[in-house]
Structure 1
Amino acid sequence: MSPGHGAAPPGHGAAPPGPVRTVVVELLSPVAAPVGRIVAVRERVEASLPFRWDLATPDQLGSMLAGTAEPNLWFVDDLVECAGRTLARSGNGDLLFVGRSLDSMFDLLSGALAGVSTEQRLARLPFSFARRPIEAGGQRWRLPALTAGQRAAARRVLTELGVTPQALARRNRPVVFVDVVWEGSTFTELFNLLDEWVIEAREPWDVVRRKLRFVGVTRRLKTSPKTWRWQQHAGWARRLPARAVVNVSLDRTVWSYLGDHQTKLTRSFRPDRWHLPDDGPNREDETRQALAEAVALVGYGRSPLGRRGLAKAIAGEPALAEPWLRSLARQLNGPA
């Protein structure tokens, strides 16, 4: 890591986390003092990240894969193409996979980039912003704002990943948030969370904005001048540089499988669960089979076939003219 880069998200080169990661945050909350004044006290808030196995060292899985069927990676060709294009459109940034929908892309790339000389790092940001709507009057509903405790917990998780206003302002390369996108609501919530934090920290927005990128994985549709594009309806996207918000399309069946139907290895990390203790791994048969699929994806990413597939997807991208991407493609095309 070069000086001034800031803390990079932990990725394929980082030490595996422990089985349960609990982070403690402190937030200021007003209380009434005995003399009637309002004072600030520090309130401790814990945030336990959902457990997920370290798939880079599958020997640590013990007997979890015993008795599981051979995974059917019917979607892998489409996933490889999408992953390669995501890398190419990342601007040589560190990739943070938001939520759980693209865990399979994270697993595939974790295998493919293992042992590859690159500045890029991968990490998971397991946030879900789903919460129960509240009545807003006139038979209208809206999502409630995040509480102070939830915002503090979110900031602590981001801090663990090296994503703070101070670190962003001092990075040499961008942080790239990657997620499946329908209308972009998750990206909107995440941007607003960061925007509020940057304002409070008084870091220069004109510097920070150049360190943020968003890659939305969308359902592949027939394109036309009338095609609805989510980022054109997200006002915050216009506050970022051109090409900081981009899309990569994915076959609609695979998109639906990853986003709606695939069994995940972790529980959903909604705001109402950000303060709950982690309940450890799920050992049911369905989860064990999903674990076998995830391990197989890591292995496919490490294979010459998987790496060459990524290089082929990268080859069609304009960013191949940039040295960092040419170097990455050359290594992926080389011997495993």
Structure 2
Amino acid sequence: MREHLAAAGMAPCDLARRRRPLALVDLVWAGRTFTTLHTVLRNWVEDSREPWPVVRSRLRYLGITARTETSPKTWRRQQHHPWTGDLPARAVQNVSLDRSMWHLLGDREPKTAPSFPPQRWHDDTVSAPVRGEGPTRALATAVALVEAGRTRSVRQRLVRTFSSEPAFAEPWLRSLSHELRPR
């Protein structure tokens, strides 16, 4: 996994020298992907002797979750994973989607690549581009979503949606909302 992370510019020395934080974004079901990734990064930082306080200040985790009822009893993944205590509270956030949209993206839409669990980390085929109808459709969907996100009407809806999020109290989400406002 370290080789894959290094190839993506995520070696501890790269993270420590970044000017801006690196945001890792995932469609989150239970949080295992972030748990595994953070554990690998944390151990690598220790092995490489890079300064953990510097690296931790450069990491952000953004989970895209299915929207649930908001209450003090709502289960929130970042409150139940010990690794989140390694980071400032603002570095681990959720943005929720309508459940039907989350399930469409997470369960029904094709993916650009197969899952990458630990047992595949040594698989040489993961470096080759994935071809076929599924990945092609997934890339076309991604391009369409990006293009839609550039339209005035979608950007206005995104700003309205963000402003209703509990996480909107966070400065980084308010900043993103201002960047999305149509000009």
Aligned to 2:95: 248
Question: Corresponding residue for 2:179?
Answer: 328
Q: Which residue does 1:223 correspond to in 2?
A: 70
Aligned residues: 178
Separation (CA, whole Å) in 2 of partners of 1:251 and 1:265: 22
Q: Does 1:283 align with 2:111?
A: no
Name which structure has the greater RCO, CA cutoff 8 Å, separation 6+: 1
Contact 1:300–1:306 under 8 Å retained in 2: yes
Report Cα offsets for 1:66-112 as digits up to 9, x if no partner: xxxxxxxxxxxxxxxxxxxxxxxxxxxxxxxxxxxxxxxxxxxxxxx
**One-letter identity of the residue aligned with 1:277:** T
| Partner amino acid, structure 2, of 1:298 | V
CA deviation after TM superposition for structure 1 residue 258, in Å: 1.3
Distance 1:241 1:159 in 2: 24
**Which one is further off, 195-204 or 297-306?**
297-306
* Residue in structure 2 matched with residue 295 of structure 1 by the alignment: 143
Which residue of 2 is the match for residue 206 of structure 1?
53
Higher helix share: 2
Confirm or deny that 1:304 pairs with 2:152: yes
Structure 2 residue identity aligned to 1:268:
S
Aligned residue type for 1:328: E
Structure 1: stretches of 5+ with no match in the other structure: 1-153
Structure 1 residue 314 displacement after superposition: 4.7
Cα distance, 1:225 vs. partner? 2.2
What letter corresponds to residue 244 of structure 1 in structure 2? A
Aligned to 1:260: 107
Question: Which residue of 2 is the match for residue 40 of structure 1?
Answer: none
TM-score, normalising length: structure 2: 0.80
Change beyond 3 A, Cα 1:268–1:185: closer
**Residue 183 (str. 1) matches residue 30 (str. 2):** yes
Of 79, 94, 97, 1:232 maps to 79
Residues 131-165 of structure 1 show CA distances to partners (whole Å, capped at 9, x for unaligned) of xxxxxxxxxxxxxxxxxxxxxxx222222222121
Offset of residue 237 of structure 1: 0.7
Structure having the higher strand fraction is: 1
Instruction: Tell me if the contact between 1:307 and 1:333 (Cα under 8 Å) persists in the aligned partners.
Output: yes
Q: 1:319: how far off?
A: 4.7
Question: Within 1, Cα distance between the matches of 2:93 and 2:50?
Answer: 25
Identity percentage of aligned residues:
46
Q: Partners in 2 of 1:170 and 1:289 — Cα distance? A: 36
Secondary structure at 1:243 match in 2: helix
Between the aligned partners of 1:288 and 1:209, the Cα distance in structure 2 is 35
In structure 2, what is the Cα distance between the partners aligned to 1:251 and 1:271? 30
